[in-house]
Amino acid sequence: MVMQEKSSDVSNENPEHANPDIPKEQKGYSLEILKIIKEAQQQHGLRHSDYQRYRGYCSRRLRRLRKVLKIPQGDRRHFKRRDVHTAMVSDDKFLQVPLVMAERAWSYAMQLRQESNTEPRKKFHLISRLRKAAIYSLQLQELIESVNCDARTKLEAQAYVAWIHGSLHFELQLWNAAMENLKKAQVVYENLAAALPEVEQIMYKARVEELAPSLRYCAYNIGDTSAIDDLMQMRGQLSGELLASLDAVIAQTREKQTNSEEVVWRGKSCGSIPSSAAAMLMADSQLNQTLDKASDQQAKIDLLQASLRDYKEKINNVREIFKAELKMKDQATAPQNLVAYLQYIRLSRTLERNLAMVKKEESEKAKPSSIVRLYEAALHNLVEISQLQDDEEFLQEQEAKTKSYRAFRCFYMAQSLANVHRWRDAMVLYQRSLQHAQDALKCGSILQKDLKESLKQLESSIEGAQYAAHAHSVLEEGQEEDFTMNKQFKTKKPLSERLHEYREDPSLLSKQPNVYKLPPPMQSIPCKPLFFDLAFNMVEFPDLSNKLQDQGKKAQGLTGLVKGLWGWGNK
């Protein structure tokens, strides 16, 4: 059993030895190194210089990668080192393993640098961690060079290796070697920024600016006047050596480039766009393809809802960036045009979501009143969209859409009135809906093809609904008011209070007839005694007036005068 497990491990590690007759397919791999590490650093602690948190993230990320790629290093009890080899690589994630290991060692070194201010002995541990990061970066470069990677990935690997080695030599105070490596990394990043579209240039330009202070410090420590001339010569040599690779990068990125250097909307320039706005534009360009693959209307609604939440955050970020420019209301500036364009995208997607909800409600045969509310929201979106531009053609387009959706709203309002037998009001709304549809179809060149077909179908539906409403109004003439009055009368007066009136009330035959109000209302009644003493009225009492007079005479005299004068004598 042990021999079988070992043989299976060997076959997994080296699939070429297991079956050498099968030719390996040449698959292209790509790894945007700087983008991956920058996004991870900003999201996991380095925004606040928390290198310990970032190191913990790298450890967890490395564990997840090895588990997914099925290259664990032993089990819980035993450790068995397994590096990524060329034969293993079948996915881009295999290239991330040495990258994450290098980042983990580098972040540990930066953490030790912060702690070495109070504990100088940690300086040695710092250097050993940087050496380890340099070893892993070389493994990454060798792996990228051995597999079929594109030119951009190879250049980014060279720049990353140069930057790690430059950081190591900087700590070792080997100023010439540090300057050479850091300058090489700076040149590669500069050329990559020049070759890539403006949307992706910001990250590389920021990296070039980060390397500038270290280069100046190295030049200061060298103290050689010829250092600047050597740097310029090295810059020219590196540009010549990387020229062929940069041409390949330009050829590859031009095919993928979706945003031009300057965004123009409705003939107005939006200027250079920040990274958050660029991400929103790229996500919006890819959203249409995702919506086409959605299985049903609910899936489309969920996708649009998630995108709208993301768009709102990105627009707020752009507003914070151009806070000063947006306060200038006298003249239109490029940031104002950019914010208006982003708002237009968000409102257009909101309108699309509301229309998708309308289609869902129509398919489920929901109440017309719920569909009316959705069209109210769509009209509100169109009002906000029309306020973003003062272009006449743009305003005419929004006005045509407004008339179209007003026609649909009036139609469903008429449907809801027809459901409660208000045929005359329904006929008026049908006529108004037909008028809005005809006005919208007059602007045929502006409207979209789908909207035109929907309006034509609406016209035929309105015609049939009008005839039906007219027929019902003739058949039920004079009964509409009686129906409403009976409904009000039935809900207020019970049958016991209207016995003197004759009125047909179908509710009396239902399960809850309104016959008598229960419980009955409280009434005030006179209080009754518990016992009736009837003999008391027939009794004749004796006359006691003479006894009362004798008691009054006895109380007279001297004692009667002074009784109670000083507080004594009272009973």
Here the CATH number for the domain that contains residue 47 is 1.10.3450.40
The predicted structure's pLDDT at residue 314: 80
Query: Is residue 21 over pLDDT 60?
Result: no
Q: Mean pLDDT across the stretch 7-12?
A: 40
Residues 319 and 236 in one domain: no
Residues 109 and 141 in one domain: yes
How many Å apart are CA 196 and CA 205, to the nearest integer? 11
- Cβ–Cβ contacts within 10 Å for residue 191, how many? 21
Residues 249 and 280 in one domain: no
- Give the CATH number of the domain where residue 310 resides: 1.25.40.280
Of 206, 221, 256, the position where a domain reaches its end is 256
Query: Is residue 230 over pLDDT 50?
Result: no
Residues 327 and 251 in one domain: no
Query: Is residue 208 over pLDDT 70?
Result: yes
List pLDDT tens digits, range 23-58: 444 567 888 889 899 889 888 888 888 999 999 999
The predicted structure's pLDDT at residue 133: 93
Query: Is residue 245 over pLDDT 80?
Result: no
Query: Is residue 14 over pLDDT 50?
Result: no
The predicted structure's pLDDT at residue 479: 55
Residue 241 lies in a domain: yes
**Are the C-beta atoms of residues 136 and 70 closer than 8 Å to each other?**
no
Residue 86 lies in a domain: yes
Of 422, 450, 473, the position where a domain reaches its end is 473
List pLDDT tens digits, range 364-422: 888 888 888 888 888 888 888 888 888 888 888 888 888 888 888 999 898 888 888 88
Residues 84 and 170 in one domain: yes
List pLDDT tens digits, range 152-199: 888 999 999 999 999 999 999 898 899 999 999 998 998 888 888 877
Query: Is residue 481 over pLDDT 60?
Result: no
How many Å apart are CA 361 and CA 190, to the nearest integer? 54
The predicted structure's pLDDT at residue 243: 43
- % of the chain exceeding 90 in pLDDT: 12
Of 413, 441, 473, the position where a domain reaches its end is 473
Residue 560 lies in a domain: no
**Of 546 and 257, which is predicted with more confidence?**
546
Confidence of residue 206 (pLDDT cuts 50, 70, 90): confident
Work out how many domains the chain is built from and give that number: 2
CA angle 561, 562, 567 (to 5 degrees): 135
Confidence of residue 255 (pLDDT cuts 50, 70, 90): very low
The predicted structure's pLDDT at residue 26: 57
Stated pTM of the model: 0.42
Residues 36 and 154 in one domain: yes
List pLDDT tens digits, range 72-101: 888 778 888 888 888 888 888 888 899 999
How many Å apart are CA 235 and CA 429, to the nearest integer? 76
Half-sphere exposure of 456 (CA within 13 A, CB side): 8
Nearest residue to 249 (alpha-carbon basis) of 155, 321, 318: 155
What is the average pLDDT score of the chain?
A: 78
Query: Is residue 559 over pLDDT 50?
Result: yes
Residues 268 and 252 in one domain: no
Residue 429 lies in a domain: yes
Query: Is residue 498 over pLDDT 70?
Result: yes
**Are the C-beta atoms of residues 115 and 122 closer than 8 Å to each other?**
yes
Lowest mean pLDDT among 241-245, 289-293, 398-402, 542-546: 241-245
Residues 245 and 268 in one domain: no
Confidence of residue 532 (pLDDT cuts 50, 70, 90): low
143-146: long-range contacts at Cβ-Cβ below 8 A with a sequence spacing of 24 or more? 143/84, 143/86, 143/89, 143/94, 143/95, 143/98, 144/29, 144/31, 144/95, 146/86
Residue 136 lies in a domain: yes
Confidence of residue 324 (pLDDT cuts 50, 70, 90): low
Parent domain of 460 = 264-473
List pLDDT tens digits, range 262-293: 677 777 777 767 777 777 787 777 777 778 77
